[in-house]
């Protein structure tokens, strides 16, 4: 008698951000089977036909990579910009992966990241990627936020914010004293990244690129921090901005441990150090590199095993 129906449940976790989309396959016991990267995407792209085509193309590539390794039974996907309307996304993933739409759970990418660090009610997550947000999931499973309003409005301390602060600093200096950039290591690094020192390059970069691409300019700022006090000051300010998000949650829900996550938080040690120095005494801060797509894959596999 065959027992193939007892094959371990395989879960697919997807963490879709502005810069890249990461996926992982895991078993219910936590074993990771495979992982990979496809281009970034945002649920906000579903608002335009070009955006929908781009999302669909990214999903097709993701499904190709995943199915080359294994066929998942269940899927947990966290998407940046996700506000609850996921029917189209769900049906595309179901069709491309050959799973039932009901086996796919979609949520905001931050909910996935929170569960990678804490059980509900346990602590606060401050996440700094392209944007920034503070998150708390209470013991009833309700999601509470601080910040995360998007890069046009705020998202202080995220990669886009760091990039914008650097460009603003450089161009204000140019207003006052044209050519001053030549003595600034940060300006050299930034202009190398955007393609040149002429305003046309900066303008094209900041107004013509996707926000995730702009966020990558933060790497150039971090790389010049040891040589340039202006870059160092921007990174310290980023740490203070991220501490503000934790402060807001602590004021609302009481003291709990804080986890700092996201690639922008890892740009330079001074970001976490300044954040730590700005938090109330006695509040524990840990910087986590737990990958959200791993956590999502394990959650999905456990969903499948519990069936």
H-type alpha helices, the chain? 49-67, 87-97, 109-117, 159-176, 185-194, 199-208, 211-215, 218-223, 229-253, 269-278, 292-305
For the chain, the residue count is: 307
Q: Give this prediction's pTM.
A: 0.81
Give CA–CA dist 64/182, Å, rounded. Answer: 47
What does the pLDDT read at residue 7?
A: 66
Nearest to 123 by CA among 282, 243, 246: 246
Residue 304 near residue 27, CB atoms below 8 Å: no
Tell me, what's the pLDDT at 160? 95
DSSP type of residue 283: -
- Write out the two tokens for 248: 């807001």
pLDDT in tens, the chain (307 residues): 444 455 678 999 999 987 789 999 999 888 999 999 999 888 888 888 898 999 999 999 999 999 999 999 999 999 988 877 788 999 999 999 999 999 999 988 888 889 888 989 999 999 998 899 999 999 998 999 999 888 889 999 999 999 999 999 999 999 999 999 999 999 999 999 999 999 999 999 999 988 888 889 999 999 999 999 999 999 999 999 999 999 999 999 999 999 999 888 999 999 999 999 999 999 999 998 778 899 899 989 987 776 6
């Amino acid at each position: 008698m065959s027992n193939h129906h007892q094959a371990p449940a395989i879960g697919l976790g997807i963490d879709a951000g502005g810069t890249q989309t990461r996926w992982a396959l895991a078993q219910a016991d936590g074993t990771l089977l495979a992982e990979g990267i496809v281009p970034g995407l945002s649920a906000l792209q579903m608002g335009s036909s070009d955006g929908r085509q781009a999302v669909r193309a990214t999903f097709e590539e993701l499904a190709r990579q995943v199915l080359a390794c294994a066929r998942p039974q269940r899927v947990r996907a966290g998407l940046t910009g996700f506000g609850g309307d996921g029917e189209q996304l769900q049906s595309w993933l179901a069709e491309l992966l050959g799973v039932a739409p009901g086996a796919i759970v979609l949520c905001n990418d931050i909910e996935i990241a929170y569960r990678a660090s804490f059980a509900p009610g346990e602590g606060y997550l401050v996440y700094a990627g392209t944007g920034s947000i503070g998150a708390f999931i209470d013991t009833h499973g309700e999601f509470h936020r601080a910040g995360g309003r998007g890069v046009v409005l705020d998202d202080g301390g995220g990669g886009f914010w760091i990039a914008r602060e650097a460009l603003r600093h450089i161009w204000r200096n140019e207003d006052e004293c044209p050519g001053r950039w030549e003595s600034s290591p940060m300006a050299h690094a930034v202009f190398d990244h955007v393609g040149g020192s002429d305003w046309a390059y900066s303008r094209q970069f900041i107004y013509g690129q996707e926000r995730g691409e702009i966020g990558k300019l933060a790497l150039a700022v971090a790389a010049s921090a040891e040589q340039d006090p202006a870059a160092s000051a921007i990174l310290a300010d980023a740490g203070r901005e991220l501490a503000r998000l934790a402060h807001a949650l602590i004021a609302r829900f009481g003291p709990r441990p804080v986890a700092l996550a996201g690639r922008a938080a890892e740009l330079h040690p001074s970001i976490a150090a300044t954040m730590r120095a700005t938090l109330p005494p006695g509040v524990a801060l840990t910087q986590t590199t737990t990958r959200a797509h791993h956590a999502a894959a394990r959650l999905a596999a456990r969903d499948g095993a519990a069936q």
